[in-house]
Amino acid sequence: MSFFERFSLARPTPTRAACQRAFSLVEVLVTVAIILTLASMTMAAVSVANGSGKKVRTRTVIAKIDAIIMAQYESYAGRSVAATSDAARGEALRTLAKGDLPDTWSTVATLAAKSESELTPHQRAYVAVWKSVDQAQVVVSNASPECLFLAVMHGGLADCLDCDSLRIEVGDTDNDGMPEFLDAWNHPIAFVHAPSGLRLPFNSNANFFSSALPFDPVVATSLGAKGGLMRPLIVSAGTDGALGLGADASQIPGSNESRDNLTNFDEEAKL
């Protein structure tokens, strides 16, 4: 046998075992399928984490705005107003608070029709803003988030929104010249001054608040609702971007849109 023949015979020839060690098309496809499955699971986990992070961020923003609004709201209990009876005093305080913390543009328009001497400094600031814009262009359906921004920023309720390392995003989602605070999904954060129809948690069968206000001397003792005395609602529409609430924060019949809303009273509703 020549050197070359011996060399040729010495070379390993492919065996059945060697062939079995090679990747078959089926093995490749299975591997690709596993990789794709793992990738989709990872993306789903990241998506859940992002959604959870947005809820946490939005709850933090709501808590901050709630603290600003409630500091003002609770101040009315000690106000002196011209009234000769408890009923008249309650009505006067109710009107004062509604004017200082409006949640509709019609409330602001009513203030604008009064003489300046009848207005508080907050209300004079709102009227100045209202008169500075093209009122016909203001989108009424987005009034409550815009009035919330108006009260906090133009009413002087907040000195600093970026304190405590928290930045509250601001936008104008309907391009009407009136800004709104935004939640983590970039939807306006809404505001209901007297959420008499609010039901928490979702689908509960009774209103969360009694009709009594904390500064009303006549009805302040009429409790009986889980949330106690009525207070302003700060609410994000949540992941679906839809509030599903009526003007008094009642759930619109047949709507599940309020199910994922985030509010300043969620923790109380769990208790």
Residues of this chain that bind Ca ion (CB under 5 A): 172, 174, 176, 178, 237-238, 240, 242, 257, 260-261
| DSSP H or E run through 8 | helix 3-10
Please state the closest distance from residue 171 (CB atom) to Ca ion, in A. 8
Q: How far is the CB of 238 from Ca ion (least distance, A)?
A: 4
Minimum CB distance to Ca ion, residue 203 (Å) = 14
The nearer residue to Ca ion, 169 or 260, going by C-beta atoms, is 260
Query: Minimal distance in Å, beta carbon 152 to Ca ion?
Result: 15
- Distance in angstroms (rounded) separating the CA atoms of residues 8 and 228: 95
Minimum CB separation from Ca ion for residue 190, in Å?
10
Quick check: 95 and 137 in contact, CB under 8 A? no
Question: Quick check: 79 and 215 in contact, CB under 8 A?
Answer: yes
Cβ atoms of residues 98 and 107 within 8 Å = yes
- C-beta closer to Ca ion: residue 210 or 264: 264
- Rg of the chain over all Cα atoms, to the nearest angstrom: 31
The four Cα atoms 183, 188, 194, 195 give a dihedral, to 10 degrees, of: -70
Give the nearer residue to Ca ion in terms of CB position, either 210 or 263: 263
**Is 210 or 261 the residue whose CB approaches Ca ion more closely?**
261
Q: Which of 224, 258, 255, 239 is nearest to 55 (CA)?
A: 239
- Closer residue to Ca ion, CB minimum distance, 172 or 248: 172
